């Protein structure tokens, strides 16, 4: 394998395309009102650290799902680099686990060196590492409540960013941490479980949506009275799980809306109207009964995640900084998808 294909394989393992999600969870609270300056070497170094942290932690998730045998039972994962043997398990274990250890040490040093309040920043980093390992090392597959440790994990990461830039936390910081938690509950509890629902006979051990009555049914559509298309199609029936999906996302939307409306700024109100329309559109699509087409599902999930992540950014940082962060995130996401997957959505 040549060097270009090898690098692409590692970026796929790292799920590098979604690095802006981790970077923004750290940078936005770090730069929030009264926080650090945007144009500084510390912000640049933290952005680089956040990107590497995403690569290695998401790479760890990919590695453990394969090493524990889960991905081998899932036909939708057959193109992943460990299953294709583009990367050996030996190389992946050594690269990922040594890298994670070094990144945690670097995070602790960062908390001490540049943190406005090093003790809670380090405590948040410790919670992030412990909860993330718990999720990646089995809870993501062996319990219907895997959404809980990973949601708390990302809230702790947001706390790490906040205390790097602030000596204490106010109501706005607490609201942002709660918003991150609820956003992650929807991403993992709804979207993650939806992707893992049974398709073509593949059945996960635990799935929250299945417990709530959701199914993906196989059928062959009738082309006309004399001919049947034998290509299988899939239909998603949410059952009572739709209530869960709607409730979680609307709780997050209510929290963000209350903060935005309290600010009483005309530009933020326009922002709220536009993103509310997007949230309603994507939420309706993702929770309604429909034909299940995996590429379309992944595009809709990606769009919902972008909207959800971007919703609170202009509340915490000024518009010039928010605009730079959001444009950079979108450019990186779609550009990296094209580079490593050849499409405009993550094939995961």
Q: What is the pLDDT of residue 191?
A: 93
Dihedral of CA atoms 276, 32, 54, 245 in degrees, nearest 10, equals -30
Residue positions counted in the chain? 348
Report the mean per-residue pLDDT for the chain.
90
Q: Between these two residues, 226 and 234, which has the higher pLDDT value?
A: 234
pLDDT bracket for residue 197 (50, 70, 90) = confident
CB 147 within 8 A of CB 189: yes
Domains and CATH numbers, the chain: 23-168 (1.10.357.140), 170-348 (no CATH)
pLDDT above 50: residue 200 = no
3-state DSSP call for residue 166? coil
Helices within the chain (DSSP H only):
3-13, 19-31, 41-67, 89-114, 118-134, 140-142, 147-165, 171-184, 193-195, 208-211, 241-263, 266-287, 294-310, 313-316, 319-340
Per-residue pLDDT tens for 282-326? Answer: 999 999 999 988 888 989 999 999 999 999 999 999 999 999 999
Q: What is the pLDDT of residue 206?
A: 73
Q: What is the pLDDT of residue 205?
A: 63
Q: What is the pLDDT of residue 275?
A: 94
Tell me which long-range contacts 182-185 makes (C-beta under 8 A, separation of at least 24).
182/151, 182/248, 182/249, 182/251, 182/252, 182/255, 183/252, 183/308, 183/309, 184/147, 184/150, 184/151, 184/153, 184/154, 184/155, 185/147, 185/151, 185/248
Region 184-196: what's the mean pLDDT?
Answer: 92
Q: What is the pLDDT of residue 201?
A: 44
pTM metric for this prediction? 0.92
Region 246-261: what's the mean pLDDT?
Answer: 91
Per-residue pLDDT tens for 114-153? Answer: 899 999 999 999 999 999 999 999 998 888 999 999 999 9
Q: What is the pLDDT of residue 198?
A: 58
pLDDT above 60: residue 60 = yes
Q: What is the pLDDT of residue 73?
A: 79
Region 251-260: what's the mean pLDDT?
Answer: 90
Q: What is the pLDDT of residue 141?
A: 86
Q: What is the pLDDT of residue 304?
A: 95
CA distances from 120 to 29, 62, 143, 157, 165 (A): 14, 29, 30, 11, 11
């Amino acid at each position: 394998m040549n060097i270009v294909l090898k690098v692409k394989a590692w970026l796929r393992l790292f799920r590098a395309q979604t690095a802006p999600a981790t970077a923004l969870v750290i940078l936005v609270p770090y730069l929030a009102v009264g926080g650090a300056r945007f144009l500084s070497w510390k912000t640049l170094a933290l952005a680089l650290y956040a990107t590497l942290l995403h690569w290695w932690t998401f790479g760890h998730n990919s590695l453990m799902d394969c090493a524990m045998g889960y991905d081998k039972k899932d036909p939708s994962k057959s193109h992943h680099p460990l299953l294709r043997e583009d990367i050996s398990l030996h190389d992946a274990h050594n690269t990922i686990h040594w890298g994670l250890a070094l990144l945690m040490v670097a995070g602790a040093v960062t908390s001490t060196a540049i943190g406005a309040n090093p003790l809670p920043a380090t405590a948040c980093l410790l919670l992030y590492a412990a909860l993330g390992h718990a999720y990646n090392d089995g809870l993501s597959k062996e319990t219907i409540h895997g959404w809980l440790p990973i949601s708390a994990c990302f809230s702790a990461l947001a706390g790490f960013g906040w205390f790097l830039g602030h000596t204490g936390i106010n109501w706005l910081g607490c609201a942002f941490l709660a918003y991150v938690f609820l956003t992650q509950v929807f991403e993992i509890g709804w979207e993650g479980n939806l992707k893992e629902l049974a398709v073509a006979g593949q059945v996960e051990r635990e799935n929250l949506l299945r417990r709530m009555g959701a199914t993906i049914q196989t059928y062959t559509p009738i082309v006309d009275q004399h001919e049947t298309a034998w290509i299988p199609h899939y239909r998603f029936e949410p059952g009572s799980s739709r209530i869960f999906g709607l409730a979680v996302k609307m709780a997050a939307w209510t929290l963000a809306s209350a903060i935005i409306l309290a600010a009483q700024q005309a530009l933020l109100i326009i922002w709220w109207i536009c993103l509310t329309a997007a949230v309603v559109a994507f939420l309706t699509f993702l929770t309604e009964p429909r034909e299940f087409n995996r590429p379309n599902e992944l595009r809709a999930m990606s769009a919902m995640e972008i909207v959800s992540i971007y919703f609170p950014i202009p509340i915490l940082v000024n518009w010039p900084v928010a605009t730079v962060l959001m444009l950079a995130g979108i450019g990186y996401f779609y550009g990296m998808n094209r580079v490593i997957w050849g499409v405009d959505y993550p094939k995961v």
